[in-house]
Structure 1
Amino acid sequence: MKIIRPAYAGTLESSDLQVRITPNPEGDIEISLDSTVQKQFGAEIERVIREVLSHMGVSAATLEVEDKGALDCVIKARVQAAIMRAADSNDIQWSTLS
């Protein structure tokens, strides 16, 4: 999917995260992560984000992620929602992420 406009998904409440995504004219993926559990789980959070991006065919985007201790299923849902909004897509891929 091509990211065509800025979008976001999620909140800054406990156990949630907010994902802000914008097009990246440089043509690559840039992720800025701020997490309350960054030391323990930062690498895993970024891995999950990159997995969703790859699975949805996003190759160029800038993401700003503020995590408040979200579980993997929440991370996946928020990233997918942000991508779909930014790509102006209604094609929900229910079975794409496990």
Structure 2
Amino acid sequence: MEIKKSAVAGTVESSDIMVTVAPNQEEKIVIELDSSVEKQYGQQIRDLITETLNRLGVTAAKVTAIDKGALDCTIQARTLTAVHRASEVTAYDWKEIDSWNA
């Protein structure tokens, strides 16, 4: 999936995460994370964002995530939404996405 523009999903409220996805001309994924639980879960959050991008076929993106203690399902949902907005996709295959966690 090609990232065409910058897009945001989520909030900076407690138990949420704000994910911003933007194009990256360097043809790689770059993740910048600011998290209130960085020491305990920072690598897990980065891994989940990376895994979600890989499953969507994203190979080049700049991701900025501001985490306030979000659960994995919320991190994944915010990343999915931001990527779909940034790639200007209007049709989703929710059955495929739902099977990721099965």
**Per the shorter chain, which TM-score range?**
over 0.9
TM-score by structure 2 length? 0.93
Map Cα deviations across residues 14-48 of structure 1 (whole Å, 9 max, x no partner): 00000011000011000000000000000000110
Letter in 2 for 1:48: L
Deviation at 1:61, TM superposition (A): 0.2
Which structure 1 residue ranges, 4+ long, deviate > 3 Å from structure 2? none
Count of paired positions: 98
Greater fraction helix: 2
Structure 2: which 5+ runs fail to align? none
The equivalent of 2:21 in structure 1 is 21
Percentage of matched positions with identical amino acids: 46
Q: What's the secondary structure of 2:58's corresponding residue?
A: coil
Letter in 2 for 1:55: R
The equivalent of 2:65 in structure 1 is 65
Structure 1: which 5+ runs fail to align? none
Deviation at 1:93, TM superposition (A): 3.1
The equivalent of 1:5 in structure 2 is 5
TM-score by structure 1 length? 0.97
Alignment of 1:19-98 (within 5 A): 19-94=19-94, 95-96=96-97, 97-98=100-101
Letter in 2 for 1:17: I
Measure, in 2, the Cα distance between the counterparts of 1:51 and 1:6.
20
